[in-house]
Amino acid sequence: MSKDEVFVSADGIRSFIKDVLLKVKVNNDVAGYVAEGLVQTSLRGVDSHGIRLFPHYLEGVKKGRINPVPNYEFKRTSPSSGILNADHTFGHAAGMEAAKKAVEIANEAGTGHVAVYNSSHFGAAAYYALEIAKHDMIGMSFTNTDALIRTYAGKGAFLGNNPFCAVVPLEDGEPFCLDMATSIITFNKVKQHRENNFPLPDKVAAGIDGCETTNAGEATMLLPIGKYKGYGLSMFIEILCSLLTGMPYGPHIPKMFEAPMTDKRYLGHFIIAMRIDCFQNKGEFKKRMSIMVDEIRNAPVMDEDVPIQVPGDPEKAIAKKRGRTGIPIDEKLLKEFINFCKDYNINFPYES
């Protein structure tokens, strides 16, 4: 943590983001979903996908990439499925609309599947699957991303490090939450190492020639987990999010940071909700879930100082802490936020 960071409460940042979005004519529902998604993500410690992306998104609204007032078109295509045209709005709003539709469908049909097209950056996949799990369902969310992982046996990137998330309710407290991309590390980590002039670990990234490199300044691609396995997993997620949605795939997806901010992204997402009570008594299921995760947490550890955790545990711990301390904002981001406050005549929710 840098001494130049300040800490602002989740409520304060949520109001600030929503207020700014309303000023640039984003509709109320969309603004609410974006503010909540970014704040939830930063609270949970997933800083790469949290409030630090807000300036990027705001520029997207201003320049035309993101539609602030979408006309969604939803079509129910079978008892258990539907497709959502997100009309190029924020991925946060598109994903949350789709998650709510998937829950509605699952309530009727046992499971619900929604393919989302004409969307924009998804943010953290966990936001949508966590919503589904509130309804005693297993939630799954998938998105494509632009080309980033080195193709197995190839020298270039074709597929993104397509993330997916699976959330499962426990008897007490926050759910099991596996939110992972198919690369070993994130590109955000590469950028951090680049800024700090730190070398990368071995076998996690490659340069423009496709060769592995530990030089963060030269790294342009990421390596997938488990070699051909992570590459195959990325391709399956691409199929759900690009082929099943009718959206472009891999190298044809406009790049998040490199494409002009006037260009729409044409991203696709896929959302699944599965009612637990279609398979087991839900009380019994959640009880067994809690017993299983406790059993694994209490298994013998390799190092007394490093506890065994289950997916979601690190984020729960950070969320608890940041619920007290507030969310850290670094100097650069703070300046941007304060400028937005000036631009839009809003009070910044931090008193120095």
Binding site for a copy of itself (CB under 8 A): 77-81, 83, 108-111, 113, 115, 138, 151-156, 158-159, 166, 168, 176, 178, 180, 184, 210, 225-226, 228-230, 232-233, 235-236, 238-239, 242-246, 249-250, 274-276, 278-280, 285, 288-289, 292, 295-296, 299-303, 306-311
Q: Pick between residue 95 and residue 230 the one whose CB is nearest to a copy of itself.
A: 230
Q: Between 191 and 227, whose beta carbon lies closer to a copy of itself?
A: 227
Smaller CB separation from a copy of itself, 108 or 331: 108
Q: For the CB of residue 299, give the shortest distance to a copy of itself in the complex, in Å.
A: 5
Q: Are the C-beta atoms of 348 and 20 separated by less than 8 Å?
A: no
Query: What minimum distance in Å lies between the beta carbon of 153 and a copy of itself?
Result: 5
One DSSP character per residue, 159-201 reads E----EEEEE--SSSSPEEEEE-SBSS-HHHHHHHHHHTPPPP
The dihedral of CA 333, 335, 338, 342: what is its sign? negative
How far lies 72's CA from each of 75, 91, 242, 270, in Å? 10, 12, 19, 16
Least separation, in Å, of the C-beta of 285 and a copy of itself?
A: 6
**For residues 116 and 91, what is the distance between their CA atoms, to the nearest angstrom?**
9
Can you point out the beta strands (E) in 100-147? Answer: 111-119, 137-143
Q: Which residue number, 194 or 282, has a Cβ lying nearer to a copy of itself?
A: 282
User: Minimum CB separation from a copy of itself for residue 250, in Å?
Assistant: 7
In the bound complex, what is the minimum distance in angstroms from residue 70's beta carbon to a copy of itself?
20
Which residue shows structure tokens 């807000």? 54
Q: Where are the beta strands (DSSP E) in 38-129?
A: 73-78, 81-85, 111-119
Number of residues that make up the chain: 352
198 vs 228, which CB is nearer to a copy of itself? 228
Q: How far is the CB of 39 from a copy of itself (least distance, A)?
A: 24
Measured from the CB atom, the residue of 85 and 327 that comes closer to a copy of itself is 85
**Which residues are paired to 138 by β-bridges?**
274
91-112 as b/e: b if 16+ CB within 10 A: bbbbbbbbbbbbbbbbeebbbb
